[in-house]
Structure 1
Amino acid sequence: MPDDTIYEDLGVPSVVNATGTKTRIGGSRIRPEAVDAMNRAADAFVRLSDLQARASDLIADVTGAQAGYVTSGAAAALALGAAACIAGDDIGAMAQLPDTEGLPGEIVMARTHRTGYDHALRAAGARIVDVGTNDHHLGTGAQNVEPWEYADAITEDTAAVAYVQKPYTEPSLEAVCDVAHDHNVPVVVDAAAELPPVTNLEAFIDAGADLVAFSGGKAIRGPQTTGFLAGRAALVSSVAAQHLDMHAAEAVWEPPTTLVDPEALGGVPRQGIGRPMKVGKEELAGFIRALDAFKAEDHDARQREWRARSERIAATLDSVAGVRTSITAADKTAVAPELTVTVEAGSAGISATEVVGALRREEPRVFVGADDLPEAFTVNPMCLTDEETTYVDERIRAQFDA
């Protein structure tokens, strides 16, 4: 592998990414056209509200939503989405956040949808109200959460219902939206890593979601620091009012009305809870170009390319004693054909945990997926080149041959 990346120049070991679009190792590779757009954006100025309004139109076009907004990652999208559901177009409430005293500050969420990422909702001041159980895992046939449990938890203090989209989550998003909308409560969906398939850009809006949070730095391959919201125009307008630099004289404050409704707000908002989540003109331009490219991509061809890489590594490891491989369909938590390598340490002479640790200590570091330890590790092909696939293949096999 080449040893002349910028990271070696900086005295930091680089990483060969065989674990997918993980933020902790830099997400994905930014598309060349996005990098070019960022470089060009750096040489000129623009009113960020104008650029956000343009991005809103493009996001609406590809998702079927009323509006969209570019954020500093999907977690920021969730935080801003929660803030919009709590404050609406009340600029006094916006200024009060994250203090939700006297405001509808509760977000209803199934226990089985809770993750560390829901901290983003709580950062806006929301208090999460858990519903449901873990009974499905007892094997009795019971479901973890039923639609009536959402209805029972919604009160006058409810700002939203939060839903984490994965192929295995239940009840269905449609059922949850029906219940929430019967009570005039919006539904916010965390779909950060749910691309591809490209059809998911529209699927959650079609199912009734009011706001959907996606990552811009994973499969879309925009700047790693970007995410975006798609959803109802009124909620997106609240997001913009709480995120954009509003430190302006009211007499000359003329935000783009397709994004912000000054009449509804009744005045210039203070710097909102989103101010620490700034998105620069370079990231905005890069994201717009990346979203265009992602939409136009041949996604079937990309899936075939990813599967071929997983199959190459599987073919090498299938002959190793104590090793069993399988390739997942894109229906689990991964959105690409991912290779699972199960290791019987007694026969292989090394455990899966030892393989993962040894690979991470090499230079360059090789990162494979560790979510299935101690029995197995995974190889995700999304961020690998053909050259890197060969290198990963060799380095994994070397651990068993040592």
Structure 2
Amino acid sequence: MHKPSTTTRLRRCYYAFEEWSTQQWRRKAISPCPSSNAILAPPKCWRLFMKPTSHQSPIYHKYHVRPIINAAGSVTKFGGSRTRKEALEAMEQASKTLVDLADLNEKAGEVIARITKSPAGFVSNGAASGLILQAAAVIAGADPIKMAQLPQTKGLKNQIIIQTMHRFPYDQSYRAAGAELVTIGSARRTATWELEGAINERTAAVAFLFSPFTARTGLTLPQVSEIAHSRGIPVIVDAASMVPPRENLTKYVKMGADLVSISGGKGIRGPQGSGLLFGRKDLVDAVSANASPNQFLGRGMKVSKEQIIGFLTALEVFIQEDEEAEMNEYRRKAQQITDALIEIPGMAVSVKHDEHDFIIPSTLITFDRSWTGRTKEDILSSLASGDPPVQLQSIFLPEDQMAVDPFNVDNEELEVLIRRLREELLKSDL
């Protein structure tokens, strides 16, 4: 009798596994290793196609999407962060009851105001949409005639001043609302007279960026606030990824910010598509007027009742957590990664943690002149295309550096991550 080829046998096994998987999902199975007679046993060859690890989540397997190990931090492109279970449970509860969104937005704003110690707050559809709403608020206010005109801003105060070193891809969000960006200073410095000279009758606001690896040799937020406020101009702040530390939820308003945007789906670990805006009450009221569910520019940036409740729940859990213990856990993981790589020749490996660039303790890898291995680009590419795919932090870092951020790496993934890093770093071009 003719023996089937290896390819044929693998194909048959794959089809058997696919059929079993479909039946499992229909039965709402939650484990690849059934222990109950009520759940069908998988085909004997199932291990060829599914590994009993967190990287093979059945819901993603269903749609043929490969889970990754995200060691790049709370990057939206790689999933942001793991939403808190408390938030998910709250979202499920919220989904079963209908409410007036205006009432919910108002009550949510009161919670945010209390936590941020600011006059008012609002739940946005992520930090980037928060920038659009910031611009809409300072350009059109809560005037429905002006709000309906956006993003056309002819005849309106539409200029937003920003330092050159604070320009970055997301400032397009300001322009999406019709703002004209006026850039001042150079890549290395900004003088007070440059800001003073840029303010005119068309100035709507001054924008300020807090973000890792942003130059800090320009005007500070207190300096910007003092100059802007002396001319009656509000200061809007983008601090999307700057929590933790938790003190940043209150620090920027104390430094003079009038309206702050922070992500809710990064360090806070709320729904990925959530964010918070807080600051001056008149500006937050203008944000709310321009935002969903109202039929103005922000209508497309809808925040559902489930997202609002999920975010509030995550925020309240976040502020109650022990930050020192949290940082110690990240530091432990970063140190374990560092210890596993430190003896590889041609590179320096260390744990970095500060209030500006590495707000989460991370492992920094720096290739020195004696490095004879593959290029950084080749290593990153191999990690991203391997099994499982691994993403590291490399944006904004010098050409000879890459970092491993443990924020999204659980203990099971940590062992796999270390193995993959050693495999790729020790692999030669030959």
Q: Normalising to structure 1: TM-score of the pair?
A: 0.89
Pick one of 364, 375, 378 that aligns with 2:400: 375
Query: What is the one-letter code of the residue matched to 1:224?
Result: Q
What is the DSSP-based 3-state SS (H/G/I as helix, E as strand, rest coil) of the residue aligned with 1:70? strand
Does residue 1:110 correspond to 2:174, yes or no?
A: no
Q: Which residue of 2 aligns with 1:296?
A: 320
Contact in 2 for aligned 1:189/1:209 (Cα 8 Å): yes
Corresponding letter in the other structure for 1:350:
R
Q: Would you say 1:119 and 2:172 are equivalent positions?
A: yes
Residue 284 of structure 2 aligns to which amino acid in structure 1? Answer: V
Contact 1:82/1:124 (<8 A) preserved: yes
The answer to whether the aligner puts 1:239 opposite 2:287 as a matched pair is: yes
> Does the Cα contact within 8 Å between 1:78 and 1:120 map onto a contact in 2?
yes
Partner residue of 2:210 out of 138, 147, 165: 165
Pairing 1:396–2:421 present:
yes
1:187, 1:209 within 8 Å by CA — same for their partners in 2? yes
Distance 1:352 1:346 in 2: 14
Aligned equivalents of 1:147, 1:39: Cα separation in 2? 51
Moved more, 98-107 or 158-167: 158-167
Residues 1:17 and 2:41 are matched in the alignment: no
Q: Which one of the candidate residues 130, 147, 154 is aligned to 2:192?
A: 147
Task: Please report how far the alpha carbon of residue 401 of structure 1 lies from its aligned counterpart in structure 2 after TM superposition.
Answer: 3.5
Pairing partner for 2:376 from 348, 352, 364: 352
Distance 1:375 1:45, change over 3 A: same
Question: What does residue 254 of structure 1 align with?
Answer: none
Indicate the RMSD between aligned Cα atoms, in angstroms.
1.5
- Does residue 95 of structure 2 align to residue 53 of structure 1? no
Q: Distance in 2 between matches of 1:27 and 1:214?
A: 13
- CA apart distance, 1:297: 0.8
Describe the SS at the equivalent of 1:95. helix
Aligned to 1:249: none
Query: What amino acid is aligned across from residue 159 of structure 1 in structure 2?
Result: A
Question: Is residue 89 of structure 2 the alignment partner of residue 36 of structure 1?
Answer: yes
Among 236, 245, 252, the alignment partner of 1:188 is: 236
Q: Does 1 or 2 have the higher relative contact order (CA < 8 Å, sep 6+)?
A: 1
The code of the aligned residue for 1:107 comes to I
The within-5 A match list for 1:257-268 is: none
Q: Whole-Å Cα distance in 1 between the matches of residues 195 and 371 of structure 2?
A: 49
The answer as to whether partners of 2:94 and 2:305 remain within 8 angstroms in 1 is yes
Which amino acid in 1 is paired with 2:282? A
Contact 1:317/1:325, CA 8 A, preserved across alignment: yes
Of stretches 382-391 and 175-184 in structure 1, the one that deviates more from structure 2 is 382-391
User: CA separation of 1:93/1:340 partners in 2, compared to 1, >3 Å: closer, same or farther?
Assistant: same
8 A Cα contact 2:292 2:300, kept in partner: no
1:341 aligns with 2:365: yes
Q: How many pairs align?
A: 370
- Displacement, 1:373? 5.7
Unaligned ranges ≥5, structure 1 = 137-143, 247-270
**Displacement of 1:344:** 4.6
- Give 3-state SS (helix, strand or coil) of 2:300's partner: helix
> 1:265: which partner in 2?
none
> Which residue pairs with 1:73 in the alignment?
126
- Give the drift of 1:335: 1.3
Task: Trace 1:263-278 onto structure 2 (pairs within 5 A).
Answer: 271-278=295-302
The 8 Å contact of residues 323 and 348 in structure 1, kept in 2 or not, is answered as no
Q: 2 CA distance for matches of 1:363 and 1:42?
A: 37
Q: Does 1:175 align with 2:192?
A: no
Preserved CA contact (<8 Å) 1:344 1:351? no
- 1:283 alignment partner in structure 2: 307
* Residues 206-221 of structure 1 aligned to structure 2 (within 5 Å): 206-221=254-269
| Contact 2:292–2:301, Cα closer than 8 Å, also in 1 | no
Q: How far apart, CA to CA, are the structure 1 residues paired with 2:411 and 2:258? A: 40
1:238-280 alpha-carbon deviations (Å, 9 max, x no partner): 111111324xxxxxxxxxxxxxxxxxxxxxxxx1100010100
- Letter of the 2:286 partner, please give it: S
Q: Does 1:27 align with 2:80?
A: yes
Aligned to 1:308, which of 311, 319, 332?
332
By how many angstroms is 1:355 displaced?
1.6
Q: Which amino acid aligns with 1:130?
A: T
What does the per-residue CA deviation read over 1:103-136, in whole Å, with 9 as the maximum and x for residues that have no partner?
Answer: 00100111111111100101010000111113x3
The Cα offsets for residues 146-171 of structure 1, whole Å up to 9 and x where unpaired, read as 22211111111011000002474331
Q: Aligned in 2, Cα 1:132/1:345: closer, same or farther, shift over 3 Å? A: closer
Matched, 1:4 2:29: no
Deviation at 1:23, TM superposition (A): 0.3
TM-score (ref. length: structure 2): 0.83
Query: If you compute each CA radius of gyration, which structure gives the higher value, 1 or 2?
Result: 2
Contact preservation (8 Å) 2:364, 2:404:
yes
Q: Deviations over 1:280-305 (max 9, x none)?
A: 01100100000001110111111111
Contact 1:317-1:323 at 8 Å conserved across structures: no
Please give the residue correspondences for 1:324-335 in structure 2 after superposition, counting only pairs within 5 Å: 324-335=348-359
- CA displacement at 1:363 relative to structure 2: 2.8
- Residue matched to 1:255: none
More moved, 124-133 vs 367-376: 367-376
**Any gaps of 5 or more consecutive residues in structure 2?**
1-52
Secondary structure at the residue paired with 2:56? coil
